Amino acid sequence: MAAGRNDIRTYRGFGTVTYLCLFILYAPLIVVAVYSFNASRSITIWEGVSLAWYRDVFTGPESAKFKQAAINSFSIAAIAATLSTMIALSAATALVRGGRFGLRTLSFGLISLPLMVPEIVTAVATLIFFSAIGFTRGYLTILAAHIAFCIPFAYMPISARMQGIEESYEQAAMDLYATRGQAFRRVLLPMMMPGIVSGFLLAFIISLDDFIITNFVKGAGVETLPTAIFGAVKQGIRPNIMAISTMLLAVSILMVTISYFVSKSDDAR
């Protein structure tokens, strides 16, 4: 693309801000990564390079717990983000493309409700509610709670995107004898993709990071990564936790890098 100075699309300084933004996001993680190789237990004092904490993650007495917690966390985040994105997409279609109707404001209020209630209140109230109706706490109660509070995070980008797409595209498709379903799948959905991906990713990280609600609704014996590592962090981050975080980070960056090169070779073909 032409990124000339007079290109209407380029604003001077926006690139700099972006790199600043990346720096802000990643700087604390660089600290974590560096100190995960620290021989000492401390985050403030450097005592030489060591891989001891990485060994500890795989062979330490808690390795089984962390592995299970990671499986739980990622499966819950994946399922919760997928379902809440689907629910949010469906709700956004109704609220953005469904005309004016009485329950619209109310529905929007309901969707934003999980944002407005402080987590500890949701946590205690949900626990009271679940035990009142006789739910046994466990994997499924965590999943249910996560699906619910991920919905607004998925909804906002999806709805913002849909508002930017003129309805005339679908109308045109339907004028050309596409059914409403076809118009949705073939016309609206592809245009919606950036919004859907954004919504999914936000829901995913919200679920992956949740501690307060999860800790109340999880019940005994089911751990997610935040609940498994929370104590270790409260006592001053233990280096094995930094090692786990660093590996998470490395794996995800590796995935992105691979996808970058795959897409590049697709282009080359």
Written as six digits, the tokens of 8 are 């209407």
Rounded to an integer, what distance in angstroms lies between the CA atom of residue 263 and that of residue 257? 10
Of 49 and 125, nearer to another protein (C-beta) is: 125
Q: Which of residues 48-67 bind another protein (CB under 8 A)?
A: 61-62, 65
Cβ atoms 53, 243 nearer than 8 A: yes
Rounded to an integer, what distance in angstroms lies between the CA atom of residue 185 and that of residue 183? 6
Rounded to an integer, what distance in angstroms lies between the CA atom of residue 194 and that of residue 9? 19
- Strand, coil or helix: 92: helix
20 binds another protein (CB under 8 A): yes
Candidates 53, 88, 214, 240: give the one binding another protein (CB under 8 A). 88
Candidates 116, 172, 175, 179: give the one binding another protein (CB under 8 A). 116
Of 49 and 254, nearer to another protein (C-beta) is: 254
Written as six digits, the tokens of 76 are 């819950």
Candidates 52, 144, 178, 182: give the one binding another protein (CB under 8 A). 144
Rounded to an integer, what distance in angstroms lies between the CA atom of residue 79 and that of residue 98? 27
Instruction: Please report how close the Cβ of residue 62 comes to another protein at its closest, in angstroms.
Output: 5
φ/ψ of 38, rounded to 5, equals -75, 140
Q: Which of residues 174-233 bind another protein (CB under 8 A)?
A: 174, 180, 183, 191, 194-195, 197-199, 201-202, 204-205, 208-209, 211, 215-216, 218-222, 225-227, 229-233
Of 53 and 153, nearer to another protein (C-beta) is: 153
Candidates 39, 52, 78, 178: give the one binding another protein (CB under 8 A). 78
